[in-house]
Chains A and B, each alone.
Chain A
Amino acid sequence: MAPPLETGSSTQNELEQDLARLIVESLRLEVLPASIDPSAALFGEGLGLDSIDMLEIALALSKRYGVELRSENRAALASLRALTAHIAQHRTR
């Protein structure tokens, strides 16, 4: 159920950048937001996040974009790209 992305790819990249920044800030990661590979796994092996980190991301996303991530949205938690697509589709602000 990959949500269709809008065609203007520059805005997509922008949102990916915003999300990367939000992730790095809310988890106080010691990496540059720009260095996060959008297709790499956020959880475990990739960025090395655990499930409490994922919860913190979800809380931050809900505050910023009004999107409540639920456990059924597992696919959206896979990577920065998947997460961005989910937010782009469901954001209310």
Chain B
Amino acid sequence: MSTGWRAQPERGSRRLIQVMTWITLRLGRSVTRWFLYPICLYFLVFSGGTQRISREYLQRILKRPPGWKDVFRHYHAFASTIHDRVYLLSGRHRYFDIRMEGASALHAVLAQKRGCILLGSHLGSFEVLRAHGLFDQQLPITVIMHEAAASNLNAVLHSLHPDIRERIIPPGTPDTMLAVKERLDRGEMVGILGDRVFGGEKGITCDFLGKPRSFPEGPFLLAALLQVPVVLFFGLYQGGRQYEIHFEPLADGIHLDRGRRSDSLRPWVERYVSRVEHYCRLYPYNWFNFYDHSDDARASHTVV
């Protein structure tokens, strides 16, 4: 039933997304970026639920009641990063001005050949990092994410890059984590977004910007079981054609207390959350987790 809920409303739009992607590539970024204004305006008028989430978040981060301009800016940043995915996935990542912070720390971790979990969030753009990994092959990144079937947008965007499917591990199958282990054993990186709990997944409730929110313990448990380091990343959109990717080592290894697992994972989850909050404050309009926790039950039955 949950798959029906996910797939149905989006089905009609695949053709539209294909057409828009084609136009985006034909006319180029500077022209098609103008389209983002009417699109964001449309969503400003017609997206009640999303706007409620955006306003509630903006209120907490800006510490003042957000106006429609704030919501518009929030939507526009989000739309920009999706628009840019078309160029990033079709090999035009050099068009962007991408700055890296902390890359040497990441390389030091990778030099140990133990693999590493790259833990991200719905803050900023994940694609900017993946494009780096895909096109500059010294950074092979595999990501755990729902494949094309779950999203028309991803189906169309992923078709822009022929090899991308080999770099995606779908969550919620019996062998998901075995596939993850194989990549890590080869010394590669596996990317996970750590700020969204799916249906039956175990979560740890932490304070996030002054409100309790559940975060998955899975990525941390995985790091502990396989004894691999965790590095945080944030692909922040700074406007124009500028992105900044931050890497921060989080844990060299996570120790698990038998029988008191959640207790031993909690400090790591809290550390992660405090870094997400830190970057939220620096780039408040980069928070793209337009997803209401009260929707948890019907969002998905996926188990990671």
Contact = CB atoms under 8 A, between A and B. Distances in A.
Contact of B201 (A43, A50, A54): A50
Contacts of B267: none
A69 interface: yes
B303 A58 contact: no
A93 interface: no
Interface of B is mostly: helix
B238 interface: no
A29 B12 CA distance: 44
Contacts of B303: 44, 50-51
B140 interface: no
A74 B175 CA distance: 6
Interface residues of B, number: 22
A54 to B, nearest CB: 5
A69 B174 contact: no
A19 to B, nearest CB: 15
A52 B175 contact: no
B258 to A, nearest CB: 9
Chain A, interface residues (CB within 8 Å), range: 10 to 19
Contacts of A52: 177, 218, 221-222, 225, 304
Given A71-B179, A71-B182, A51 B174 contact: yes
A70 B222 CA distance: 16
Contacts of A44: 174, 303
A77 B201 contact: no
Closest 10 CB pairs of A and B: A55-B177, A51-B176, A50-B303, A71-B179, A43-B174, A71-B175, A77-B174, A71-B178, A51-B177, A74-B175
Interface of B: 171-182, 200-201, 218, 221-222, 225-226, 259, 303-304
